[in-house]
Amino acid sequence: MTISSALNAGVAGLAANANRLSTISDNIANSATYGYKRAYTEFDSMVISSGNGQYVAGGVRTTSQRLISEPGALTTSSNATDLAVRGRGMFPVTTSAAVSADNGTLPLRLTTTGSFRADDEGYLRTPTGMALLGWPASPDGTIPIFSRDTSVGLEPIQINANQISGSPTTQVDLALNLPATSTEADSDGAIEELSIEYFDNLGKSQRINVAFSPDVPVAGDPATNIWSMSLTDSSSGGAVIGEYTLTFDDSRTSGGTLLDVAVISGPAYDSVTGNIPIVVAGGEIDFNVGAYGAPDGLTQLSDVFVPSSINKDGSAAGNMTSVEVDENGFVIALFDTGITRTIYQIPLVDVPNPNGLMAMDQQTYAVAPESGSFFLWDAGDGPTGDVVSYAREESSTDVAAELTSLIQTQRAYSSNAKVIQTVDEMLQETTNIKR
């Protein structure tokens, strides 16, 4: 009897709108929850054909889904490790319980934002207990090669606030001017000296002493434009680590620049880069004096000795003061000596169907068959966006739209209730026929 199908359709309508009300109430309740992804309920009609010319009401059924791919707006914060993803991709996290258990098993969870702060053991985690994962850097700050289709290699990011670190010097760029008058016949042949500080492998201060001796011609001969350069290393007990003969150009077009560098002892000079790979007690240092014809290295002009620029890397040992995360997901430690060091890299996890992820507590998600397999990307590479620090992602809930849907749902629920009431009255009329 078709009147019975109408009753069933009304009941199905009540259940469907009750389901929609559940998603709406969840969205409104989490309108201020950072990283919350709104859910929605979609209605699908059910068609049942009797085959005898009568219409049978099939009713309605619902499917609910969370729109994980729909981003919320970003808002600023004052914490350097408040992180959000701008674009596609999610942060890998795990539970603090798994970190504490330390049994080698870290369940992979995904999230688009989090307020990560160091706990008593230095692990970056949210107040709700989700620990941030990343690839650890090598001692030299480089990131080793890890598999991109597995979470093996990811570790809970741990910040050692008491860490002391130094950076050895590996590069020195020297720019100075030697007096051209010192290579003339009436010169007194004064030696020009310069001491350059560098830092060894233990963060200690050492010195490279450079001495320039002019080649003075005999009376009546023209200027030689030739100098002898000697390098000694304090960490090697003052031993000579390089001796070179420098010849400067006196032509109209390139006057005063290096014309030739002859090796007396020590490593060879590279005329293209201007580098001399000198070897001190702790290892090799690229000592750059400028290429042939270059005006930004060693020059010989006028009558003054001027060390114009000494640029070098490395620093003395210092204490870690803070941690920051750049747009590519590199976790960088800052020290009071001014140096920085990469200690972790946070990859961004991407799946073919983000909306197929399994929703978990605390705005986290787990990989599911419907989402497809995951891949770990460098932030800003491939389809993924970049990492924004000092930021949180707000809820994707639009309260005005949800309240509008709430009114529609209430009206639809009332209408379905009216259908049931009408069917009840019609059945009552049918039973009254016997009377």
Q: Report the 10 Å Cβ neighbour count for 157.
A: 26
Same domain, 51 and 178: no
Same domain, 189 and 215: yes
Same domain, 183 and 157: no
Q: What digits encode the pLDDT tens for the residues 263-274?
A: 999 999 999 999
Same domain, 299 and 218: yes
Q: List CB contacts of 23: < 8 A, sequence separation 6 or more.
A: 39, 40, 41, 64
CA dihedral 323, 325, 330, 336 (to 10 degrees): -30
Q: What digits encode the pLDDT tens for the residues 248-263?
A: 999 999 999 999 999 9
If pLDDT is split at 50, 70 and 90, which confidence band does 435 have? low
Q: Residue 336, Cα to own-chain centre: how many angstroms?
A: 22
* Spatial CA neighbour of 165 closest among 21, 13, 342: 342
Phi, psi (deg, nearest 5) at residue 423: -60, -40
| Residue with token string 């051209």 | 180
Same domain, 183 and 221: yes
More confident residue, 316 or 280: 280
Q: What digits encode the pLDDT tens for the residues 192-215?
A: 999 999 999 988 899 999 999 999
Q: Is 176 helix (H, G, I), strand (E, B) or coil?
A: strand
Q: List CB contacts of 243: < 8 A, sequence separation 6 or more.
A: 228, 229, 230, 231, 263, 264, 265, 266
The answer to whether 89 touches 377, Cβ cutoff 8 Å, is yes
Same domain, 236 and 221: yes
Q: How many CA atoms does the CB half-sphere of 73 hold within 13 Å?
A: 6
Same domain, 153 and 212: no
Same domain, 111 and 232: no
Mean confidence (pLDDT) of the chain: 93
Instruction: Residue 26: give the domain boundaries.
Output: 2-66+397-432
Which among 313, 345, 370 is the end of a domain?
Answer: 313
Number of separate domains in the chain: 3
Q: What pLDDT is stored for residue 329 in this prediction?
A: 97
Which among 313, 337, 352 is the end of a domain?
Answer: 313
175 vs 399: CA distance, rounded Å: 63
If pLDDT is split at 50, 70 and 90, which confidence band does 426 have? confident
Which among 313, 338, 354 is the end of a domain?
Answer: 313
Same domain, 57 and 88: no
317 vs 125: CA distance, rounded Å: 28
Same domain, 240 and 375: no
Q: Residue 198, Cα to own-chain centre: how many angstroms?
A: 30
Q: What digits encode the pLDDT tens for the residues 353-379?
A: 999 999 999 999 999 999 999 999 999
Domain containing 197 — which CATH number?
2.60.98.20
Same domain, 204 and 300: yes
Which pTM value belongs to this model? 0.76
